[in-house]
């Protein structure tokens, strides 16, 4: 099986590439000329080089995300370019990673993910889509930012269900190696936590002593999060808890080791 991974150097994509290494012939899509074996050049923004990158490919693990909050629909535009090239070549199975709540929370980035889902569903290509809750890595970044100042901030009424990116990679790898399945059950973390609890526990583990200020959430997007539309209580659940993850990222001195993609400027 030949697999093309978009976003193959990102938080999720690189773990998918690692897992597929001994199970498939893996190509990683890159905008730049390949600097090492296993990489192929292609631009999701313009479509240039995608036909060549897709030549002979059986499955595409579409993990790339523009994450452009000023132009969120770039995600959908990139997906359209990918599908156009795929339809003109070997018509591979498209395996897409999405987010729980994209159809119920009117956030621009979520709207783009939903638009990508629909493009894939309507493409005529074989497809599988997995929605997950937010990764542990992103929840950690939010906690670092929320406790950076003299006061720790916690959005009032917000809950989270962070999931381990390694467990998402395991599931996505299964889907890549399997048959097209359409929309599969959502995947979330093993527990739903309120924001206050997450901030307090983070402060305990890092030795911080900021007073906690609860901020109200307002607007339609906030209402969707308050209602829990980003949670997957009835979906499949991972096993690694958020505290187990935190203990691998917080040293005995309270220093936080952020994942390399989320390094903050000092």
pLDDT in tens, 33-79: 887 889 999 999 999 999 999 999 999 999 998 777 778 899 999 99
Beta-strand relationship, 59-62 and 2-6: parallel
Distance CA 118, CA 258 (A): 33
Could you tell me the mean pLDDT of each successive run of 10 residues in the chain, 266 residues long?
Answer: 96 96 96 87 96 97 85 93 96 98 96 97 98 96 92 93 98 98 98 94 94 93 96 94 96 87 47
Q: Are 111 and 72 in contact (CB under 8 A)?
A: yes
pLDDT at 260: 59
Q: What is the pTM of this model?
A: 0.94
**CATH homologous superfamily, domain 2-262:** NAD(P)-binding Rossmann-like Domain (3.40.50.720)
pLDDT at 33: 87
pLDDT at 68: 75
pLDDT at 72: 83
pLDDT at 261: 53
- DSSP one-letter code for 163: B
pLDDT at 37: 86
pLDDT at 266: 36
Q: Where are the domains of the chain?
A: 2-262
Write out 24-83 in H/E/C secondary structure.
Answer: CEEEEEECCCCCCCCEEECCCCCCCCHHHHCCCCCEEEECCCCCCCCCCCHHHHHHHHHH
Q: Are 146 and 153 in contact (CB under 8 A)?
A: yes
């Amino acid at each position: 099986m030949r697999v093309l991974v978009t976003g193959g150097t990102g938080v999720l994509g690189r773990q998918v590439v690692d897992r597929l290494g001994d199970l498939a012939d893996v190509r990683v899509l890159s905008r730049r000329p390949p600097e090492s074996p296993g990489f192929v050049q292609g631009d999701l923004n313009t479509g240039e080089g995608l036909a060549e990158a897709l030549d002979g490919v059986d499955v595409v693990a579409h993990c790339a995300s523009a994450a452009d909050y000023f132009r969120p629909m770039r995600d959908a535009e990139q997906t359209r370019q990918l599908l156009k090239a795929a339809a003109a070549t070997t018509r591979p199975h498209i395996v897409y990673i999405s987010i729980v709540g994209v159809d119920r929370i009117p956030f621009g980035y979520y709207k783009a993910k939903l638009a990508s889902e629909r493009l894939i569903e309507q493409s005529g290509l074989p497809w599988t889509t997995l929605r997950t809750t937010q990764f542990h890595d992103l929840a950690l970044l939010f906690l670092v930012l929320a406790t950076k100042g003299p006061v720790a901030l916690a959005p009032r009424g917000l809950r989270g269900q962070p999931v381990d990116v390694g467990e998402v990679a395991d599931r996505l790898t299964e889907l890549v190696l399997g048959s097209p399945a359409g929309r599969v059950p959502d995947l979330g973390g093993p527990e739903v936590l309120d924001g206050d609890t997450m901030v307090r526990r983070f402060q305990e583990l890092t030795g911080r002593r900021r007073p906690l200020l609860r901020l109200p959430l307002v607007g339609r997007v906030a209402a969707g999060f308050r209602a829990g539309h980003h949670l997957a209580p009835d979906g499949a659940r991972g096993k690694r808890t958020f505290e187990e993850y935190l203990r691998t990222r917080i040293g005995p001195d309270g220093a936080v080791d952020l994942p390399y993609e989320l390094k903050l400027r000092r």
